[in-house]
């Protein structure tokens, strides 16, 4: 009975946190892009635009839902459901932290621990392309069809080097369990250098990590590989004929795939929830210091705000951050919050990289995209995998 209760509680927490993160990731992206492009960004709805995701959700839910008369209605409605379902499912196998004890019950900080977790994630991500392809085909629109074909071609092309990059840490750690991979990366060489994947067999696994990140941009249809939605060529690409919540479903699926792929990169190559240096050197106090610094800065600016209305909100935000920082010092909460902090920090850093690249790089031409996949990424990933396999065979 306790097992099922704990499972329900974990599902509710993960679902709530995941959906909230997706909403506010969109706001963070708009804020960061505004800073990159020297713009203001959303700042009208609530303090610093904090309620903007809620307003956007209400707008999309109340917007008129049009279904064009020329579409294949069944597949037209199935496409966004398939996209968002596959995107939201992947988070179930991602481990966020070590085994913990809750109300006397030992449980993992993970919805489900599968011994083939890597294969499950690859299978789910592979199914996601069907939603985009069906959206393009069922819309009976030439721009949407071209967007769907482009998405299918680039996802299939970049799936190969992506899978080969993932195979590199699998060869080293000899397991398909995501939790097993993280546990294999625990510990430190010479007592200081973490045994993360990127630091293993230098520089071969680091090359696999770079290949993985590049392919992840293409897999999630993000700049500079967002050819499936190229507005200067295809209006909006595969979702041209979608509106209201059906459009929002594709939007949600894109951000969910971003979180999933960054969490997977953290798990495979960056040690998951393990800290950058040993706890005996003070790594357990990093969350308190980092969050406390943000809280102190908010309080400092609240005492001398640039706008009168920021006086209250900055002070409240600073007090809240200081309270969260203090929680990381509570002994029975530390085994839960500290690993979670490190996992979120690494995943958040990769998500920031996604946004930074979007505000920096131009979009490729489609022929450049495909040539890069088959002429460079695929040979490099094959050669890198063979080199790692050869070294592993020698060591064994």
The token duo for 149 is: 């074909």
- Given a contact cutoff of 8 angstroms between Cβ atoms, the answer to whether 128 and 154 are in contact is no
What phi and psi values does residue 105 have, to the nearest 5 degrees? -110, 125
- Given a contact cutoff of 8 angstroms between Cβ atoms, the answer to whether 260 and 249 are in contact is no
The token duo for 88 is: 């939201």
Count Cβ atoms below 10 Å from residue 123 Cβ, excluding itself.
12
**∠ CA 123-128-129, rounded to 5°:** 110
The CA-based diameter of the chain, rounded to the nearest angstrom, is 67
Beta-bridge partner residues of 101: 106
Helical axes 52-62 vs 244-269, angle rounded to 10°: 140
- Pairing of β 97-102 and β 193-194: unpaired
**pTM, whole model, 2 decimals?**
0.94
Closest to 176 in 3D by CA, of 166, 185, 186, 162:
166
Question: What pLDDT score does 1 carry?
Answer: 55
Question: What pLDDT score does 338 carry?
Answer: 95
- Pairing of β 97-102 and β 188-189: unpaired
Q: What is the per-residue burial (b if ≥16 Cβ within 10 Å, else e) of 353-366?
A: ebbeebeeeebbeb
Question: What pLDDT score does 212 carry?
Answer: 96
**∠ CA 379-124-174, rounded to 5°:** 60
The token duo for 313 is: 């909100």
Question: What pLDDT score does 396 carry?
Answer: 66
pLDDT in tens, the chain (396 residues): 577 788 888 889 999 999 999 999 999 999 999 999 889 888 888 888 889 999 998 988 888 888 888 888 899 999 999 999 999 898 999 999 998 887 777 888 998 888 888 999 988 888 888 888 888 889 888 888 888 888 888 888 888 999 999 999 999 999 999 999 999 999 999 888 899 999 988 889 999 999 999 999 988 888 788 877 777 677 777 888 888 888 889 888 989 999 999 999 999 999 999 999 998 889 999 999 999 999 999 998 888 877 777 788 888 999 999 999 999 999 989 999 999 999 999 999 999 999 999 888 888 888 888 899 999 999 999 999 999 999 998 886
């Amino acid at each position: 009975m306790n097992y099922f209760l704990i499972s329900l509680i974990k599902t509710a927490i993960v679902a709530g946190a995941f959906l909230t993160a997706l909403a506010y990731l969109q706001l963070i992206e708009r804020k960061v892009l505004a800073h990159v492009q020297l713009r203001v960004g959303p700042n009208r709805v609530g303090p610093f635009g904090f309620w903007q995701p809620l307003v956007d959700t209400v707008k999309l839910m109340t917007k008129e839902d049009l279904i064009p008369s020329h579409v294949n209605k069944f597949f037209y409605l199935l496409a966004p459901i398939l996209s968002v379902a596959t995107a939201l499912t992947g988070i179930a196998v991602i481990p966020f932290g070590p085994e913990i004890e809750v109300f006397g019950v030992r449980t993992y900080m993970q919805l489900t621990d599968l011994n083939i977790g890597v294969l499950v994630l690859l299978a789910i991500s592979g199914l996601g392309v069907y939603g985009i392809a069906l959206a393009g085909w069922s819309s009976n629109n030439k721009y949407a069809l071209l967007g769907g074909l482009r998405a299918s071609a680039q996802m299939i092309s970049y799936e190969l080097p992506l899978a080969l990059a993932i195979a590199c840490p699998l060869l080293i750690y000899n397991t398909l369990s995501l939790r097993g991979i993280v546990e294999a990366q625990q510990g430190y060489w010479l007592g200081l250098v973490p045994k993360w994947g990127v630091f293993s067999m230098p520089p071969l696994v680091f090359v696999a990590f770079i290949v993985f990140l590049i392919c992840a941009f293409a897999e999630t249809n993000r700049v500079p590989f967002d050819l499936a939605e190229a507005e200067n060529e295809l209006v909006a690409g595969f979702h041209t004929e979608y509106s209201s919540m059906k459009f929002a479903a594709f939007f949600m699926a894109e951000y969910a795939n971003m979180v999933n792929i960054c969490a997977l990169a953290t798990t495979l190559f960056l040690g998951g929830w393990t800290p950058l240096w040993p706890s005996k050197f003070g790594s357990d106090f990093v969350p308190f210091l980092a969050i406390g610094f943000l809280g102190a800065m908010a309080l400092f600016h609240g005492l001398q705000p640039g706008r009168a209305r920021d006086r209250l909100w900055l002070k409240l935000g600073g007090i809240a951050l200081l309270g969260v920082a203090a929680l990381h010092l509570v002994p029975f909460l530390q085994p839960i919050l500290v690993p979670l902090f490190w996992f979120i920090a690494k995943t958040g850093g990769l998500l920031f990289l996604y946004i930074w690249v979007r505000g920096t790089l131009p979009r490729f031409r489609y022929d450049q995209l495909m040539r890069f996949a088959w002429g460079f990424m695929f040979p490099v990933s094959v050669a890198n995998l063979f080199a790692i396999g050869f070294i592993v065979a020698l060591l064994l």
